[in-house]
Amino acid sequence: MAHYYQPDIETMPREELRALQLERMRESMRNAYENVGVFRERFDAAGVTPEDLTCLEDLARFPFVVKQDMRDAYPFGMFARPNAEVARIHASSGTTGQATVVGHTAADLANWADCFARGIAMVGGSADSTIQVSYGYGLFTGGLGAHAGGEAMGCTVIPTSSGNTKRQVQMMRDLGTDILACTPSYALLIADTAIELGYDPATEFPISAVICGAEPASQNMKDEIAEKLGVQYCDVYGLSEIMGPGVAMECAEGGGIHVAEDQFYCEVVDPETLEVLPDGQWGELVITTLARECCPLVRYRTRDVTRIVDEPCACGRTHRKIDYLRGRTDDMLIIRGVNVFPSQIEQVITEFPEIAAQYQIILTSNGPLDRVELQVETVPDFPFDEVRKLEDLKRRLAAELKGNLQVAVEIKIVEPKTIERSMGKAKRVVDLREGTNR
């Protein structure tokens, strides 16, 4: 029995939902155009006004905004509301340059809480649930975002914030936490700490779900968390520029993350040409807010790589999904005119148990053409003694990559430790092509 937080919105027929999106988008654009300097300048320069938006596809005629625009507008340049109407301010960590601040009106906060609460329903939560929020509280949107979502649902909220992991485990056990909200790495640490303390949280704790986001997590890591804690894993997407956690959340069916489409309109664009890509193609996620009052954004380039999964979901929700994120556009390679993300290659490699996790992509020029070589190692127990098996492995891997990337890749099986292991981030791509300095 499916269970929704806002059934009318979450299962709204597509046509009705699109009509609502269009109406809200136009209103949101007016808000941006009339109250935010950067939007007025950009729209004027592009020769468009909110009145030019006659259908959702018209959005492609409007200019983009990027994070730098928000930095440049620091502190209040992106605010469409006077201070009296601002209820709260969040800010990004600012590890790379100027921080970006985002204001929220009371209505913005209420919408945000609703978005997150929908995810709580997706993991089977209700007013009867206890949610432990182990995201950090503060300027970071994780803690307060999840907290408000729990309150909106009517849950019992335990605001443990992050840190003091042993106490987290104790609370989880003693207070009977049903849902844990935190970063995936912290969920794993909590699980491991519980196990170290002699518990089997999967069977001994009542916990039934985790809602994890704010940092990338591989499928293996998600599976490990789900297994160790014995829970449903819900991937939550959000970014502080747009709102915070709850922009998209994963239902029990998996297969991607449902975008709160009554609040946000998603496009996927080619990060080079900035052309809107058809559903199903990987590219950069661009988000337009539909109901944000204080900091409306039109065509915000997230730099996150995903694709739109436009298939009906068995959970009954009509809001479309985006696929699990595949890294950042900064990692993108252009090979023979095709956009390739190292994470796509990684994904294929993980499907081959015969191949070790280490790999390296070598790009060279072969005349005017790009030549792609993928160096991989076999796992130690692979029967490498039989040349036929190695050749067969190469063939299968090359075919799988060709199918996934649309680019021919030469496979080279190398000796162990040929591929450089670095202490920090491994150098996955070596670009030796002429005329590129990527």
Partner 1 sequence: MISQLSVFLANERGRLAAACRALADAGFNMHSLVLADTADFGVARIFCDRPEEAAALLAEAGYRAAVTPVIAVRVPNAPGGLATLLEFCDGAGMNVEYGYCYSVGPDTAVDVLKIEGEGAEAKLAEGGFDLVEADEIYAV
Give me the least distance between CB of 314 and Zn ion, in Å please: 7
392 makes contact, choosing from Zn ion, partner 1, none, with CB < 5 to 8 Å by partner type, with none
Give me the least distance between CB of 357 and partner 1, in Å please: 16
Residue number with CB closer to partner 1 (275 or 415): 415
Q: What six digits make up the tokens of 324?
A: 């699990």
DSSP 276: B
Give me the least distance between CB of 421 and partner 1, in Å please: 12
Positions that interact with partner 1 (CB under 8 A): 377-378, 380, 383-388, 390-391, 412-418
Q: Write the interaction track for Zn ion spanning residues 296-335; mark x where CB under 5 A is met and - where it is not.
A: -----------------x-x-x------------------
Give me the least distance between CB of 248 and Zn ion, in Å please: 11
Site for Zn ion in 252-281 (CB under 5 A): 253
Residues in the chain: 438
Strand partners, 65: 300
Tell which one of 86, 251, 348, 401 touches Zn ion (CB under 5 A).
251
303 contacts: CB under 8 Å, gap ≥ 6: 67, 271, 284, 328, 329, 330
Give me the least distance between CB of 232 and Zn ion, in Å please: 12
Residue number with CB closer to Zn ion (121 or 285): 121
How far the first Cα of the chain sits from its last, in Å, is 51
Residue number with CB closer to Zn ion (120 or 376): 120
Residue number with CB closer to partner 1 (37 or 383): 383
Residue number with CB closer to Zn ion (253 or 331): 253
413 makes contact, choosing from partner 1, Zn ion, none, with CB < 5 to 8 Å by partner type, with partner 1
109 binding Zn ion? (CB under 5 A): no
128 contacts: CB under 8 Å, gap ≥ 6: none
Residue number with CB closer to partner 1 (51 or 410): 410
Which CB contacts under 8 angstroms, 24+ apart, belong to 430-436? 430/360, 430/361, 430/362, 430/363, 431/333, 431/363, 432/362, 432/363, 432/364, 432/365, 433/363, 433/364, 433/365, 433/370, 434/365, 435/365, 436/363
DSSP 182: E
Give me the least distance between CB of 436 and partner 1, in Å please: 25
- Are 163 and 212 contacting, i.e. CB atoms less than 8 angstroms apart? no
**DSSP string spanning 230-257?**
T-EEEEEEE-TTT-SEEEEE--TT-SSE
Closest CA to 173 of 195, 146, 155: 195
**Applying CB under 5 A, which residues contact Zn ion?**
251, 253, 313, 315, 317
